[in-house]
Each structure stands twice: as C-alpha cells, then as structure tokens.
A and B are shown apart, each in its own frame.
Chain A
Amino acid sequence: MRAARVLLRPVGFAGFGLLTLVLLAAAFGPVLWGGRAAAVDTGNLLAGPSAEHWIGTDNLGRDLFARVLVAARLSILLAVAATAISLLLGILLGAAPMLLGRRLGRLVTSAVNVLVAFPGLLLVLFFAVVFGVGARGAVLAVGVAGAPAFARLCHTLMAAVSERDYIAVARIAGVSRIRVLLRHVLPNVAEPLVVNATMAAGGVLLTFAGLSFLGLGVQAPSYDWGKLMQDGLNGIYVHPLAALGPGIAVVLAGLAFNLTGEAFAAMFGLGDSPGRSRSLEEPREPVAATPAVPGTVLSVEGLRVTIPGPAGPIRAVRGVTFSVSDGEAVGVVGESGSGKSLTALALAGLIEPPVRVEAGHLVVAGEDLMAAGAHRRLGTSLAIVFQDPMTSFNPAHRVGPQLAEVSRFHQRIGRRAALARAVDRLRAVRIREPERRARQYPFEFSGGMRQRAMIGMGLMGDPRLIIADEPTTALDVTVQRQVLELLAEVRRDTGAALLLISHDVSVVTDVCDRVLVMYAGRVVEELPAKDLRTLARHPYTRALVAAVPDMDTDLSRPLAVIPGLPADPVHVPAGCAFAPRCPLADDHCRAVAPALVAGVACHKATEVPV
C-alpha cells in the first residue's frame, strides 16, 4: 500500500505525527488547560521558568506554557480558515476562463497575473488595513492575499485538464460548465491542490504570527501564538523563553503542515516517490559469452532487457538473437509491448541503469557494446533515427550546428569545415536551400524535413548501420514515402545496413529484405520480407498480417482479429507467450516455450497450412 509506505518514511512519520499532536492540542488545549491559562497569580508576575511554570508567567502571573497550548486552537483555526479562503477564491478565479467564456476569462487571468507580481506581505498589510484590525480582518486579509497564487496554480492545472478530450466529450454530451468543473476538472486537479494548500497553511500560520506580533492580528483578551510572542518580547532579555516558547510552537506547527504536504506529494506521486529508485534485486544470470557472427555489421545473441517495476521485474526483451549482414535491410515488426523499441535502444547502446541489458554478445560495427567505453569508439559507424523528430533535436539550437557537432566531436574537424559538411549532408537528404535551412531552428522544419535532417545527422560520419525506430509513424503517408525512399537511397549510396523497427507490416515489407516478427520480447518468426504476407508459418505472424486491412481486403467479410490481450511482461507464461491467444495451442504449447528453429518459434509450425 502506497499510503502506508509513505507513512513509514521519516518525512511522512514526522509530518503526520507532528500534525496529530498539533491538532490534538488545538482540539483539547482549551478544555484541559483553559482554567490554568486564565488563572491569575499576582504573587508570581513575570516569573522565569520554574518547576511549576515551565516557561514562566506573564504580567498577570498566568502560566505561559498553558497559554501556548491553549493558543494552538485559535492559531490553527485562523490559519486553516485563511487557507480555505485562499483556496476557494483561487479555484473560482482559476476556473474563470472555463466558467465565464474566453474574453471575460482572459480579463480575470490578466488581473490575477498582475496581483501575483505584488509581494505577498504587501498585499496582506493592504488588506489588513482594508478589512480592519482584529482576528476576522486578519483572516480575510491573509485569505484574500493568498488567493492570487492559488488562482495561478488552479488556472495552470485546469488549463492542462481542459485540453483533455474527456472535457470536450462532456461538453458535447451537454454537461453544464459548472458540472464539468465539479465532476471532471476538480477531481483531476485535487491532488496538487491539496498538497499546495497543506504547505500554504504552514506559511499562513507564520503570516498570522507576524500580523499578531505587529498588533494587526488577534486583539486582547484573545490570544494566538503571535500575540503571545508580542507580549513576551518586552522581557526578551530577562525571560527569553516567554517569547521563544510560542515561537517554537509556530515552528513546530509550520513544520507539521509542511512535512505533511511533502508526504501527501509523495503519496500522490507528485514529488520524489518512494518506489522510484527501485533497483533489480535478483542476481544476474550468468550469460556465456559467444563470438560474433563473422561478416556482419550487427550481431547479437541472447539479448535480454529487464526493467525494474513495482510489481516485479518487467522482462521486456527475453533472449533475442539475430544478425544483420553488411548492406542488408532487416525489419522488426511487432505490436506495442513486444519489446521491439527496447531492442533497438539496446542495440544502439542507449539503455542506462536501472534498466539491465544482458547478452551473450552484442557487436555493432566491430565494437563489442557489452565492453566499457564501446559506445564512444562506435562513433559515427552507427546512425539512429527516432520516431518523433521534434524531440530528437534540441529545440534551442539551430539545425546546422547540431549536425556539425557530430563531426566536431567524433571526427575532430574544425567548426567551419563541420558546418560546411552539415550543409552538404542536408543537401544530400534533399532539403532545399540547405544553407538557409541550416541556420533555422528545428521548429521551423516540417515533420518530414526534421526526419530528413535526422537522417542527415546520421550521415555526418560514414555509417555502416542505420537503426530507424518507427521513423515514419508520426508522418503523413505522402511524407512517409519520401522518407522511406530517402532511406533506400542512402543505403544505395553508402552501402549501409538498415535495421527498421515498425508496427506497420506494409512499411517493413516495402523497404526490407528480411523481417523479424517479435511477440512478448522474443523473435517468433524470421523470414524474407516478400514472404511475409503469403508464407508466414507462425500463427501470430499470420494473424497480424490478416488483421491489417489493405487496398485489396475482402469487404464482405469481417477483419481477422486476435482474441485476448497481449502477454503481461511481468507475468510471461511459462510456455509459448502466444498460446493463450492461439487457436492451435495445446498443453505442450502452454508448458514448453518453443525455440526459434528454422526461422519460426512454434510447436505447431508444421501443422499450419501454408
């Protein structure tokens, strides 16, 4: 249980423990010590600490320790009331764009932005004067002064939520604005609000103490901690504890609120969560080192990628063995969760702890990636193209220098020569006016152009292998074709091999010579690309191909579907991972995992009619 785990950590334990004590004092203080705190002892005025009066007495001889305990109720009530006012006003102001429509909402938001710019204390003093001296005035002043910060927070949080489609859906369904706010928006922003309100309560407590100390807050005969501090200040050199006692109470209560807020944040997963720094506890299984297949640009045996997870290690890749010959184009297809992208990342040496990569050998362009420092020696023999071309470039740098950096780092050539090469490479990937484009930022490029520039970056060196992970998934079909043609052209010109990862069977068959089909972290079939549609033997491959409609699909029949759900990578079944969804599976399939033999990992491969 996440809440229990948070409670047992020092922050949670201290926070909730302190808060419980403070709240108990607030609830029962006046009942238990009320009499003692009001008892006047004229024989003991302004006395110092003694066994009877732990932190001394005030100018009427009343016990200060009892008064500090009794003052807890008023201090906490004021702080909570003011925080509630801030929160409520903040929510109303923050929701203004949603409730009032765009134009009025913008006005409110601008006003809030102006108010946020004022120092908080200035606002508090201003409102304290407006609302008048006294406890009620102070609560209103602190509450109203805190509202802009909450309004800003609410506005940001709500703006993020109102972008979500379910808000649009609710509006289309005729749900009123207020109901959308109450049912859909507030529940989804509640967690950060609760955390912030708890922490703000600690700050508000301090502000109150300050106001009362200045004489603007609570007035005699009532008293809160600030008032007690003010009273004790006169004798600070004689009896320091009279002023420090209530001060310590403020610090403790403030800490209680702040630590509780931290604990809430951890519980809601906003801050540093207790489950994050998990590492793999299980020992590594020894993997026998094996030599690379000669004549290949990429050779991997028994590749395993394991991710630590809250419910146990996630075995994303479970023993993948294959090789890519010089100049060959190999495709990897599979659905999400099949481990194809993690395989690509592992081959590119881009996986870092706590995710664990194991392999008998993993050799790319002659460098053993399992050895230390291999990634640097790999240099420019490996080029990588990712799915999202927007995130693979640094948005703050111009495109040309980003390409040039590759050559400056790996080939140690000068700035000018590197930039000239960058322009030349941009031209090679068919970007028009490469000199001008090199000076532009990534956002000025279209998606297809960014993807070309990314390929251009790979060509800064002399790649022997290009790994492309879903390079066209984010692109339109017409642009996709241009990028695929570019990849084919680059292969022809440079003789580089290509490893193309895609969920799209037709893209892979278009570009590649050979295809690996992955399911639940394993290669289940390996076959020539041209045979994928007609000669596949694994039931999964056949189902995958049949499930995708193409321009020749029979319109009179329903599409083939794969029943059931993909294998859970935390609990992969002992036998064939596809068995629960396979029409041919028997007890043997469910008990024994099939090995990849003659291009297919299936006990029933011989029974499948081709």
Chain B
Amino acid sequence: MSTLSFHDVRVRYGSHTVLDDVSLEVADGQTVGLVGESGCGKSTLARAAVGLAPLTGGQILLDGRPVPNRGRRPVQMVFQDPYSSLDPRMTVGESLAEAMPERLGRTARQAEIARLLALVHLDAARAADLPVRLSGGQRQRVALARALAARPQVILADEITSALDVSVQGAVLNLIRDMRRDLGLSMLFISHNLAVVRYVADQVAVLHNGQIVEFGPTAQVLGAPRHDYTRHLLAALPGAVPLKEQM
C-alpha cells in the first residue's frame, strides 16, 4: 500500500469553485475520514483522484508520482449507491473479472473470484448471480470486492454506507475495519456521518466550502475540535445537546 497526497487541489466548474487549494495526505495503511455537508466538495475530491473530475490546479500524487488518469487506476473508488454501481446485466463474477489487472485462465479466474468474495464475507456461489438477486448490503460488498480485484494501492470510499439500512451498515463497517487490519489498506473514507467516521478512521479531515478547516487524529478532531465549524457539526448531532425547543 502507498501514500496518496493531494497538493493544493483546485476544482472549478465555470465560476463556481468546488475545491479551493485542498491539501491532504492519506498515509500508508491509514484510513482518513473526510467529513462535511453535502455540496462541500467531498465527492469531488475523490472523483478528482481517479480522473473523473478535471483538476483546475494542484496535483494528486501517489508515492510522489502523479496518479494516472487513464487505464487501470492504482486508486479505486467505491460509490454510494449500490443499486447504480453494478451493471445489472453482468454477473457478480463477470464484474469482478473485468476489474482484474491481468487476464487469467478459467480456473485461476474462478479461484481469484472466490478469494475476493471470501474477503468480503460472501459465498463463492454468489459469483453466478446477477445483481438483482442481491440485497443492498451484499451489492455493496461486491462493489468493495471489485475495487479490491484491481489490486489498488489506495481505496476511496464515497458514502458507502449511507444508502444502506442501519443493520447492514454495521456489517459493512466491520468489513472495512477487517480489511484494513488484514490487508493494510490505505483508504479515504468519505461520510457525512460523524459516528461512522469515528468508528473506522484513524484521522479525520473536515471539509467546509471547499477548504479543509481541520485535520488530525480522529480522537482529537472529534473529541477536542479546534475549528468552529467542527464544533458546529458535532453540536448538531442528534442527542449531542438537548433540542432547545423541547417541551
């Protein structure tokens, strides 16, 4: 695994600046949580790292070299909506095989598919199923397995649990923690849910209006926030402070 670093990344659409000189480092084997409100540029940062959003300025480096934005990316992304991220016409096995870096023989391919499915705690028999036969949580596991199939150096997870039911969310979060422990993955974990980020991330970056306003170890940022906006976010959590209009 490797280090992904954003240097003064700027993304602009027309006159609208989405990301304004964002610098951030996802260190080797670390999970960095990225939090902020919708529209603050969280997803754009991830999309820029895989070449889906054009940079207006700055650069994104993987171990000191620019991330290639054609061909197979060494940085893989998992998306929010598990119902949109799998091709409905391809079986789970075909989707995984497509992401593999080298063309394998039939038996080697099947073994690799079984290995990947086992990594995400799915039965190897699922390889023959079409996505329509899977639940949301199972689809999201397949999406994770597909990202792993490309043998990435860094994984970007963009709100991967927010479309899932709470009981399924727990299983996916456990999986993320297992994978980091077993595979030593470097990961940028994007979420608007502070409790979820607290559970999986080593470090947290707070993004507000296209700028990183606070970055540091999770316990420090969420336990003793220094920036007003972080405090504002924490205070808004349900149960954090009693509703002031409560009867």
Contacts and interface: CB of A to CB of B under 8 A. Distances in A.
Interface string A162-200: 001110111111110000000110011000000000000
Contacts of A491: 247
B98 to A, nearest CB: 6
Interface residues of B, number: 59
B125 interface: no
B179 interface: no
Interface string B183-219: 0000000001111101100000000000000000000
A543 B167 contact: yes
Contacts of B171: 559, 561
A169 B146 contact: yes
Contact of A170 (B98, B166, B173, B174): B98
| Interface of B, helix, strand, loop or mixed by DSSP | loop
A548 interface: yes
B166 A503 contact: yes
Contacts of B73: 172-174
A555 B243 contact: no
B240 A551 contact: yes
Contacts of A188: 87-89
A171 to B, nearest CB: 7
A544 interface: yes
Contact of A553 (B51, B167, B199): B199
B192 A553 contact: no
B2 interface: no
B120 interface: no
B8 interface: no
Contacts of A335: 165-167
A165 B43 CA distance: 13
Nearest to B77: A172
A486 B99 CA distance: 48
B72 A478 contact: no
A562 interface: yes
Nearest to A550: B195
B37 interface: yes
Nearest to B40: A476
A412 B246 CA distance: 34
A551 B237 contact: yes
B199 A484 contact: no
A511 B146 CA distance: 41
A477 B73 CA distance: 33
Given A503-B166, A504-B238, A565-B135, A174 B72 contact: yes
Given A166-B84, A166-B86, A492-B247, A547 B169 contact: yes
A296 interface: no
Nearest to B37: A476
A505 interface: yes
B114 interface: no
Nearest to B232: A478
Given A173-B98, A547-B166, 17 more contacts: A165-B84, A168-B52, A172-B73, A172-B76, A175-B98, A183-B98, A187-B89, A478-B236, A481-B236, A481-B243, A503-B165, A504-B238, A548-B166, A549-B195, A549-B199, A561-B170, A562-B170
Interface of A: 164-166, 168-175, 183-184, 187-188, 335-336, 476-481, 484-486, 488-489, 491-492, 503-507, 509-511, 543-544, 547-551, 553, 555, 558-562, 565-566
Interface of B: 37-38, 50-52, 70-73, 75-77, 79-81, 84-90, 95, 98-99, 135, 143, 146, 150, 165-167, 169-171, 173-174, 177, 192-196, 198-199, 222, 232-234, 236-240, 243-247
